[in-house]
A and B are shown apart, each in its own frame.
Chain A
Amino acid sequence: MAECCAEAGYAETQIGDVLARAGVEPDSFESHFSGKEDCALAALNKIVSETLARISMAAPRAGDVIERRKFEVKAILELMAARPAFASLLYVGARQGGTARMHDSYESAARVLALMMERAGDAGGRPSATARAILGGAEAVVRQELATGRAATLPRLLPDFVYAALVPFVGQREALRQAKLAARVAAEEE
């Protein structure tokens, strides 16, 4: 479903194409899903729950809140790189192309991630939409990489994402320092 939506868009995705790609019989599909939207929602729930699971697994490995944030961002980028079709379903299909329920699913996930971002530092004096804006910037880059077929290299952009996630809270100098540290970690892992 995620791959079909990424290629054709949700509106033009046909259940027959999904079944053919997955090698699933109609009877089997109907025993699991009530229809196209139900299947798309299940795919969305899968990527959202996997994202949250990766975040919760990444966080305890780090010490302070900034370290945790870096691990969380890294975990999300690695997941999106590994599952580009699901990333597309979440950040393109559910956001701008799907049904109202799919859009709600996207919004719920965005709210959770925004709350996570707000824990990055003192929000005093910052506008209320700061966390949402940080996520929006990150999503724009993810969408660009998806659209140009470069999802696999998303983890290399970890320093950019770390900088954007931290700069409203800790300032440019510290955000850049943290971005460099993140780049070093990413390079060592490569």
Chain B
Amino acid sequence: MNEQRREELLRAMLIELAGNGYNNASVERALTETDVSVAEFEAEFGDKDRCLFAAYDQLTEMVVAKASAKCEYSDPWPVRVRAGLETLLSALAAHPQLAVALTRSFPAIRPAAYQRYVALLSRFVPLMHEGREYSEVDEELPGEVELLAVGAAEAIIFGEVDAGRAERLPQMLPEILFSILVPFMGPDRAADEMRSAAATT
């Protein structure tokens, strides 16, 4: 199976999952839609679970790569966070069914699938470390502040995707940005960044 057909099949499986849930996600429909034969499917994945896990892994790699790429510029950390967040929210808004598969349908399958979601969130934690340099106090910030920031953003994103409003996510950039920045920069400077983002969103 060539790379393009493989990607189309993985995407079709995630859309099946998001639309119909795990039990009713149909390999047959995904194969028909992508014109992949049963023999090709079995040679490549073997079964539905392997295909779904491969699809999820590919999706999470893409999400992390897109968001991280924007975080690697030489701009100040708050600017890079905003750029990465903007890219992530735009991608989720452009593909609402994949957003549902990412946050809700796949993690619901079973604990092993849920662990993939936890692992995804943990990959954003290192991107937060630099925020400590922006603290307005000399003292050490709490040890879990990075995960608290990532979880804050995730909660808002999850809530919107879950409510069927993934398309709205780019409009929510300013307040999600505030939630990420506030533990590192305090409310006043985080609000400044929020207003700056709102002016250009």
> Residues on A close to B: CB < 8 A?
7-9, 11-12, 92, 96-98, 103, 125-130, 132-141, 143-144, 147, 157, 159-160, 163-164, 167-169, 171-173, 176, 179
Contacts and interface: CB of A to CB of B under 8 A. Distances in A.
Given A126-B191, A141-B151, A144-B147, A92 B156 contact: no
A170 B135 CA distance: 15
A47 to B, nearest CB: 18
Contacts of A129: 156, 172, 175-176, 179
A179 B64 CA distance: 32
Nearest to B106: A96
A8 B114 CA distance: 11
The contact size tier of chain B is 35 or more
A98 B21 CA distance: 12
Contacts, number: 135
B52 interface: no
A157 B150 CA distance: 17
A181 B61 CA distance: 41
A96 B114 contact: yes
Given A167-B183, A171-B188, A97 B107 contact: yes
Chain A contact residues: helix, strand, loop or mixed: helix
Given A134-B152, A160-B142, 14 more contacts: A96-B103, A125-B187, A127-B194, A129-B176, A133-B155, A140-B152, A141-B147, A144-B122, A157-B144, A167-B182, A168-B182, A168-B190, A171-B188, A176-B137
A164 B156 CA distance: 16
B145 interface: yes
A168 B148 CA distance: 13
B121 A140 contact: yes
Contacts of B58: none
A128 B194 CA distance: 13
